Amino acid sequence: MYPCPPSASAPKPHRTGRLGRVLAATCLAPMLSGCFLGPDKLDLGIQIPEKYTHAAPAKADAARPALDWWRGFRSRELTSLMEQAQTANQDVAVAVARVLQADANARVANSALLPGIGLDSSGTRTKPAGGQVRSLYNLSFNASYELDFWGKNRAALASATENAVAFRYNRDVVALSVLASTANAYFQVLAAQDRLRFARDNLAASTRILSIIRERQAVGTASQLEVSQQESLVAQVRAAIPVLEITLRQNMAELAVLAGRPPEFVKVRGGSLNAVTVPRLTPGLPSELLQQRPDIRHAEAQLIATNHDVTAARASFFPSIRLTGETGWQSAALSSLFGPGAWFYTMAAGLTQPVFDGGRLLGQLDVAKAQRDEALATYRGSVLAAFRDVEQALVALEQQTRRERLQADVVRSARAAFTISETRLREGTTDIVTVLNTQQTLFQGQDTLAQVRLARFLAAIALYQAVGGGWPPKDAGRPI
């Protein structure tokens, strides 16, 4: 797969062998540079599928997720929290600061392609023992420039530029993760509120049944065992409420931190998952995922950067040519510093060729190659993980939607059975065991329904995250 020859073997203990290898590498460097694995020649080594296995057939009017995809859930509070997370989240701020650092490093790398110019001014007065006082004034400009004949500095600049691009995609990865975490926490709040409502309604219903059983006990038609069984059920329902309160309040605190504010200053109203809709999402094509997922683009930019690092490492075998010059004025008297005889200049050119460095340059080249191989494997892994994430999210969303529909049928049947059993209990035509069973079935069914509904929303968020969040219009380029 790689057109380049394998890396050099382990260093020999003999100095002559080492010197021969270095000289050979220097002579072969021009030929080796021709087998550079450029970004346009990368072999992904992965077959890209034409479509997702579990994706529904796309309709002609199906729209891709918008950049503000969270608005599709039709929750103003969620939209507000997502907007705050984008502007005030500290993880996003850290990622932005890293982008600025990468830009600064790129400017540092760019400086090697430009001449360096300096100003030197001095004035000295000396008096040797037994001698006269002497003064010397100097004002000069100096310049130096390294000829980038072999492309080492250009390759270093290209690597730094690609790293800056990679950090921009990393910022997108962090932002998408923060948005997904915000949506997940908000839906956790809604689900906890739904479960709390179910628990309190069930507590009221079980307490009402307990009162009926105690009335029957008072007239001798119910035993203490039946009363104790119902009391146990009431206590069990009551004990579930603090656990749900913990989930509710902890996720509210999580939302505040994601929005960049202390929990004490953020009030989350919430509501119910029944008031929120899951938008229809078209995942697009697998080939489009390579351009849309920021983590894939991040890995791609890092891979290109390592390719340029290999070029820079190879160029280190060639001579380094540096031009220097200095011009200015020098005089023993300040008044005559700019006189006609005070001007001077010097010009020089130097060439430095590594001959023997103990294998340092060869080691650096091998490191650069290994880092390129690592980046290529990381890129492939990112692509495979992206396909996996989309398929898993599609399966989860499809099956959780189906499961919610089936669980809703369970709750409707359980509620009808409980209503009938409560009526017959009042009439004295049913036994306590039947009432207990219908209560437990309804209570568990309602709680399960809330959890299944939450799972469907979380699957939708996972799918948005898997396809890379919102997609720009087809005629607009993705900003970098």
What does the H/E/C string look like for 418-448? HHHHHHHHHHCCCCHHHHHHHHHHHHHHHHH
| pLDDT (tens place) for every residue of the chain, 480 residues total | 333 333 333 334 343 343 343 333 334 333 333 333 444 445 667 888 888 888 877 654 456 788 899 999 999 999 999 999 999 999 999 999 999 999 999 999 999 999 999 999 988 888 888 778 888 888 899 999 999 889 999 999 999 999 999 999 999 999 999 999 999 999 999 999 999 999 999 999 999 999 999 998 898 888 899 999 999 999 999 999 999 999 999 999 999 999 999 999 989 999 999 999 998 888 888 888 888 899 999 999 999 999 999 999 999 999 999 999 998 888 877 777 787 778 888 999 999 888 888 999 999 999 999 999 999 999 999 999 999 999 999 999 999 999 999 999 999 999 999 999 999 988 888 888 898 999 999 999 999 999 999 999 999 999 999 999 987 765 444 444
pLDDT of the residue at 473: 64
pLDDT tens, position by position, 117-160 = 999 998 888 888 877 888 888 889 999 999 988 999 999 999 99
Distance of CA 122 to the CA centre of its chain: 53
The H-or-E segment that residue 183 falls in is helix 152-218
Give dist(CA 368, CA 204) in Å, integer.
Answer: 69
pLDDT of the residue at 26: 37
pLDDT of the residue at 83: 95
At position 386, the amino acid (one-letter code) is: A
Among 229, 158, 189, CA closest to 197: 189
Among 202, 186, 204, 223, CA closest to 77: 186
7 to 31, 249, 367: CA distances (angstroms): 14, 58, 10
Q: What domains are defined for the chain?
A: 46-113+153-317+371-466 (1.20.1600.10)
Among 88, 144, 85, CA closest to 114: 144
pLDDT of the residue at 464: 94
First to last CA, the chain: 31
Give dist(CA 288, CA 80) in Å, integer.
Answer: 30
Q: 11 φ, ψ to 5°?
A: -65, 145
pLDDT of the residue at 16: 39
Among 176, 169, 175, 180, CA closest to 295: 169
Q: Please state, as a whole number, how many other Cβ atoms lie within 10 Å of the Cβ of residue 88.
A: 13
pLDDT of the residue at 63: 63
* DSSP, residue by residue, 125-141: EE--TTS--EEEEEEEE
Distance of CA 193 to the CA centre of its chain: 30
pLDDT of the residue at 12: 40
Q: Could you tell me which residues come within 8 angstroms of residue 55 by beta carbon, excluding any fewer than 6 positions away?
A: 283, 394
pLDDT of the residue at 120: 92
Contact assessment for residue 224 and residue 217, using Cβ atoms and an 8 Å cutoff: yes
At position 334, the amino acid (one-letter code) is: L
Among 199, 280, 268, 273, CA closest to 454: 273
Give dist(CA 71, CA 470) in Å, integer.
Answer: 11
pLDDT of the residue at 62: 54
Tokens 């075998």 sit on residue: 317
199 to 237, 252, 274: CA distances (angstroms): 6, 20, 17
What is the C-alpha radius of gyration for the chain, rounded to an integer number of angstroms?
A: 37
Q: Could you tell me which residues come within 8 angstroms of residue 99 by beta carbon, excluding any fewer than 6 positions away?
A: 164, 167, 168, 171
Give this prediction's pTM.
Answer: 0.82
pLDDT of the residue at 15: 38
Taking phi over 0 as left and psi of -120 to 50 as alpha, with beta for the rest, 352 belongs to beta
pLDDT of the residue at 101: 96
